[in-house]
Amino acid sequence: MDTKQEDIITMFNKIAKTYDLANRILSMGIDKTWRNKACNMAFSLYGRPSIDTIVDVACGTGDLMIDWKKIAKKNSIELDKIVGVDPSVGMMEVGKTKIEDGVFIEAGAEDMPLENESTDIISISYGIRNVVKRKEGLEEFARVLKPNGLMVILEFTKNDKDTLTAKLTKFYMNNIMPIIGGLVSGSRDAYTYLPESIEAFITTEQMKEELKSVGLEPIFVKGYSLDMSTTFIARKIAK
């Protein structure tokens, strides 16, 4: 495994026990709204009353897995199985305490032990930025998805705009977030990494192009909360 990827996994193992609390404080709970909207939109676009499998990559402590199950039930969608995939054992150990019947697999995004065209929906929330071999990861998602299956990505994309709101968002992430995140988690480095990784990440347009390059056609792209978070939903093109 890539050394940088190993460092990222080690960092997440270190902050696993405080990760949920830090997220709620730093996002003021808005992250749950972002996830719920993404799940509802994906179910609407997929348009099926029953779904065999959803795979949540970089599942962390399982928040999105819980949301998928709850929102499927609210929409009267029969969901047979949801699988969480993550290279961080520490994060998944927390997830297992929240989802007792959950299926968790230790693996990286670029090498998942899943069969070809076996999954209806693959999601990754705030994790694609941490996949060092992103191209390989996207190719893997395309491999595992069924034809016409959906890829759902939530991420903090780089904002190149020179607007006041963009500047305020950057100030919050660069100056306030590391202090609060550091106090809650005991690891200021982890929450200094976050804004640095966002600044080094790609833009929304670049993400759309990367999805297209592996056969995933973007069908819904929307920024939320002053474009702090972006949701991408792409459909696997049936050959």
Residue 134 CA neighbour count, 13 Å, CB half: 14
What is the model's pTM? 0.87
Is the separation of the CB atoms in 82 and 68 below 8 Å?
yes
d(CA 112, CA 185): 29
Q: 3-157+202-236: what CATH class?
A: alpha beta
Percent of the chain with pLDDT over 70: 90
Among 13-17, 100-104, 110-114, name the one with the lowest average pLDDT.
13-17
pLDDT in tens, 88-107: 888 899 999 999 888 999 99
Give me 89's structure tokens: 């054992």
Is the separation of the CB atoms in 210 and 138 below 8 Å?
yes
What is the rounded average pLDDT for all residues in the chain? 87
Each domain of the chain, given as residue ranges in start order, spans 3-157+202-236
Is the separation of the CB atoms in 157 and 204 below 8 Å?
yes
Between strands 119-125 and 103-106, the pairing is unpaired
pLDDT in tens, 117-169: 999 999 999 889 889 899 999 999 999 999 999 999 999 877 666 777 777 77
Strands (E), 87-237: 103-106, 119-125, 145-155, 216-224, 229-236
